[in-house]
């Protein structure tokens, strides 16, 4: 196992030991206990204390934090024309510990493990694991440090209106709708970034900057799909004029030493908002629109420029859910290269079958409609239809139907089923993916 994993395990064990030591201490005098209301815990009650309340000393900060634990068991069926189907059974466990804040400082470490009972039932193309004749399911088995960061945050600056938040280390870092910067949370290993991030702002204005020196991708630390070495800058600002209008300009300068073909620079702006319509059946309209211009950056050997435009609008209907539609244009530079999202949560876009995680060199157009509904028995459902065309030439390349059904059994337990069916044209093969999963989190 890699040194970073061993180090993370030792650090986590050390924090746990400190927590137990802190929790075994006294809770104050009898007189102090009498002053507390029945059932109210003292502020230094170790693991049982409120992790959101700032600690009064270092030992309380270390011992009074919060354990994060979640387990996701998943079955994925995947079949692409011309390949054997995959039947992937995987289980993902995350275990982490976050200290309480002390004078604004806090820290977290989180381990992540993915295991499978039989690698031969599926194939991980990025690592070569499993049966190479089967359909790709990008969920390798391994253990890694998912997060390990230190943080400083202060609220109430400038007469209570502003904050500053600084975080450095391996962290989950996302912006807006995850189109450009996301954590790919759908896969068993998520994407985290080795970065130093600064966020400042108030209720109206925010500014975000992050320097990224490493990308821990969804394929773990495997040598054949190792993390990306990075020299990247993420710059974003946002201004909330009202609930109906939020404007967010951004600049993302991505430079990857060992993945130079994915290096690019994007300059753009996003507008979004919710227009409230009253207390009737049609309650509100939600919208978002993004435009960006992208070109090569760093050591990318391909000289290109391409545009991106995306718009989505939905109506919120009382006692039902949402009905919406959208269009995304991922431009091409004469078929030589196209607009790409190397750090985005791309599973969320262009259909759940994952045909277009990498944009074709001819570019892509995606028109879609969807319904999200609150159903009987506390079920939530989603149904979506996508139609796809190239940018260059405008040829139709297929359509996709997606469906999701989930139920929150309790605050700690969620079950979900998900289906994606892509009907392709030309070089894009018919694809079916089905997921059944259950997630416990504490």
The domain that contains 199 carries what CATH number? Answer: 2.40.160.10
Task: Check pLDDT > 90 for residue 341.
Answer: yes
User: Can you name the residues that pair with 317 across neighbouring β-strands?
Assistant: 282, 321
- On whether residue 142 sits in a domain, the answer given is yes
| Rounded Cα distance, 208 and 310, in Å | 22
The residues, any chain, with a CB within 8 Å of residue 158's CB and separated by 6 or more, are: 202
Confidence of residue 52 (pLDDT cuts 50, 70, 90): low
The tens digit of pLDDT for each residue in 117-163 reads: 999 999 999 989 999 999 999 999 999 999 999 999 999 898 788 99
For the chain, what is the domain count? 1
The residues, any chain, with a CB within 8 Å of residue 143's CB and separated by 6 or more, are: 1, 5, 111, 112, 113
Mean pLDDT across 70-74: 98
The more confidently predicted of residues 33 and 106 is: 106
The pLDDT, as a whole number, for residue 426 is 86
What is the number of H-type helices and E-type strands within the chain?
4, 20
In percent, the amount of the chain with pLDDT more than 90 equals: 83
Token match 């078929």: residue? 335
Mean pLDDT across 298-309: 97
Of the ranges 25-34, 211-220, 328-337, 346-355, which one carries the lowest mean pLDDT score?
25-34
Q: Do residues 96 and 147 make contact, with C-beta atoms less than 8 angstroms apart?
A: yes
Q: Do residues 46 and 17 make contact, with C-beta atoms less than 8 angstroms apart?
A: no
Mean pLDDT across 73-102: 97
Task: Check pLDDT > 80 for residue 14.
Answer: no
Mean pLDDT across 272-286: 94
The pLDDT, as a whole number, for residue 8 is 44
CA nearest to 430, candidates 344, 362, 349, 351: 351
For 121, half-sphere exposure in the C-beta direction (CA atoms, 13 angstrom radius) is: 12
For 378, phi then psi, to 5°, come to: 60, 25
Task: Check pLDDT > 50 for residue 235.
Answer: yes
Confidence of residue 224 (pLDDT cuts 50, 70, 90): low
The pLDDT, as a whole number, for residue 51 is 58
Confidence of residue 53 (pLDDT cuts 50, 70, 90): confident
The tens digit of pLDDT for each residue in 381-425 reads: 999 999 999 999 999 999 999 999 999 999 999 999 999 999 999
- On whether residue 28 sits in a domain, the answer given is no
| Rounded Cα distance, 72 and 114, in Å | 9
Question: H or E element: which one contains 4?
Answer: helix 3-23
Task: Check pLDDT > 50 for residue 193.
Answer: yes
Task: Check pLDDT > 60 for residue 335.
Answer: yes
CA nearest to 15, candidates 52, 54, 56, 58: 58
Helix (H, G, I), strand (E, B) or coil at 171: strand
- On whether residue 51 sits in a domain, the answer given is no
For 427, half-sphere exposure in the C-beta direction (CA atoms, 13 angstrom radius) is: 6
User: Can you name the residues that pair with 434 across neighbouring β-strands?
Assistant: 77, 419
Q: What is the largest CA-CA distance in the chain?
A: 81
- On whether residue 8 sits in a domain, the answer given is no
- On whether residue 47 sits in a domain, the answer given is no
Confidence of residue 298 (pLDDT cuts 50, 70, 90): very high
The pLDDT, as a whole number, for residue 223 is 59
C-alpha distances out from residue 62 to 44, 45, 54, Å: 11, 12, 11
Token match 């859910």: residue? 321
Range of the domain at 189: 70-441
- On whether residue 200 sits in a domain, the answer given is yes
Q: Do residues 119 and 128 make contact, with C-beta atoms less than 8 angstroms apart?
A: no
- On whether residue 376 sits in a domain, the answer given is yes
pTM score, whole prediction: 0.88
Mean pLDDT, rounded, of the chain: 90
Token match 């280390």: residue? 169
Of the ranges 53-57, 60-64, 291-295, which one carries the lowest mean pLDDT score?
53-57
- On whether residue 161 sits in a domain, the answer given is yes
């Amino acid at each position: 196992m890699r040194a970073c994993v061993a180090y993370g395990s030792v650090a986590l064990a050390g924090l746990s030991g400190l927590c137990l030591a802190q929790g075994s201490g006294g809770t104050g005098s009898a007189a102090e206990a009498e002053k507390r209301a029945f059932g109210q815990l003292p502020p230094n009650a170790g693991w049982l204390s409120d992790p959101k309340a700032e600690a009064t000393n270092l030992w309380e900060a270390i011992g009074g934090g919060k354990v994060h634990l979640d387990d996701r068991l998943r079955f994925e069926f995947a079949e692409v024309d011309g390949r054997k189907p995959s039947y992937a059974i995987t289980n993902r466990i995350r275990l982490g510990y976050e200290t309480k804040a002390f004078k604004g400082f806090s820290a977290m470490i989180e381990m992540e493990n993915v295991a499978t009972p039989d690698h031969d039932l599926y194939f991980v193309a990025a690592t070569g694991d499993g049966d190479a004749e089967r359909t790709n399911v990008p969920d390798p088995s391994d253990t890694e440090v998912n997060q390990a960061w230190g943080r400083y945050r202060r609220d109430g600056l400038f007469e209570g209106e502003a904050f500053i938040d600084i975080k450095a280390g391996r962290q989950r870092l996302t912006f807006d709708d995850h189109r450009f910067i996301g954590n790919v949370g759908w896969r068993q290993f998520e994407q985290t970034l080795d970065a130093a991030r600064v966020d400042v702002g108030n209720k109206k204005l925010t500014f975000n900057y992050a320097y990224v020196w490493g990308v821990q991708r969804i394929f773990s630390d495997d040598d054949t799909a190792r993390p990306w070495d990075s020299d990247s800058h993420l710059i974003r600002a946002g201004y909330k004029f009202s609930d109906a209008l939020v404007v967010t300009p951004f600049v993302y300068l991505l430079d990857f030493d060992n993945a130079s073909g994915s290096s690019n620079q994007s300059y753009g702006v996003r507008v979004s908002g919710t227009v409230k319509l009253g207390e009737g059946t049609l309650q509100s309209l939600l919208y978002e629109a993004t435009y960006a211009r992208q070109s090569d950056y760093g050591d990318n050997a391909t000289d290109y420029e391409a545009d991106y435009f995306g718009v989505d609008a939905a109506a919120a209907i009382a006692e039902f859910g949402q009905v919406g539609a959208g269009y995304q244009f991922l431009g091409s530079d004469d078929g030589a290269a196209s607009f790409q999202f190397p750090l985005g949560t791309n599973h969320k876009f262009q259909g759940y079958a994952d045909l277009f995680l990498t944009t074709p060199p001819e570019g892509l157009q995606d028109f879609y409609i969807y319904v999200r509904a609150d159903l009987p028995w506390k079920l939530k459902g989603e149904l979506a239809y996508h139609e796809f065309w190239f940018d260059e030439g405008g040829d139709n390349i297929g359509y996709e139907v997606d469906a999701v059904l989930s139920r929150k059994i309790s605050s700690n337990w969620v079950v979900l089923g998900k289906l994606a069916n892509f009907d392709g044209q030309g070089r894009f093969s018919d694809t079916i993916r089905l997921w059944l999963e259950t997630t416990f989190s504490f």
